[in-house]
Amino acid sequence: MRIKSLSISKHPTLSCILCAILLASMLISTSCSGKKATAETVQAPVEEPAPAVGAISDDYQNPEGFVLLTDVIPDAILEIRYYSTYNFAGTRIDGYLQPIALLTVEAANALKKVSDELKEQGYRLKIYDAYRPQQAVDHFVRWSKDPSDTLTKQYFYPMYDKPYLFDNGYIARRSGHTRGSTVDLTLFDMRTEKEVDMGGTFDWFGVESHPSHTATLTRQQLANRMLLRNTMVKHGFKPIESEWWHFTLKNEPYPNTYFNHPVYWNVR
């Protein structure tokens, strides 16, 4: 059977239909292409979140100039509060990917001398915090600006509202911890197998945390604070007047650098 070829020129209606189809196809193609280009042009940059443990590659390079504190002081006791939820924010803090303590080489070596001297007197060092990345400090600042989040108020700052903490230096946009040579610590009595009574807890926001706030301290509590303070000062650390647990190496190697690598150590 023969099929006659169809001449479009002899069928104007069919010609119009085909032209319409072709034109619609071209418009759809152009429209899709234009939308894609527009989306790619106006897309806002996405801030990279702090990496999760699983997101760090196996070949992660440990930060130069830092050490894992327990490599220098193997018997140091760690209670890294910002890795846990037992802290003033009530949640794990950004950048704390492992419950470890990192310090600059210089700070760790100086702290080893502190540990050696106190060990002869029957004490070990208990570490609450050491190097703290800038992303963690940023987390503190965000927390301080949220008046609705008072989950831990009764445990850490019952007498104050959050603006007071920020305005009076308890929380700041820059921290000595971020320079890598500051440590928060206490003493552990090897005889009693308990923390030494310092007359106050770590990260208590109030005058009771001032090292020599004698109004609320017993003679023994004050002596305990002074033992820690004097030994730290003897080996090159300087205290602050608002926190009995806080010390910074006087000759810190990076006095103007605020690091942001996570609290993480690649054990190869």
Which residues does the annotation mark as catalytic? 243
* C-alpha span between 268 and 264 (Å, rounded): 13
In this structure, are residues 195 and 82 in contact, taking their beta carbons and an 8 Å threshold?
no
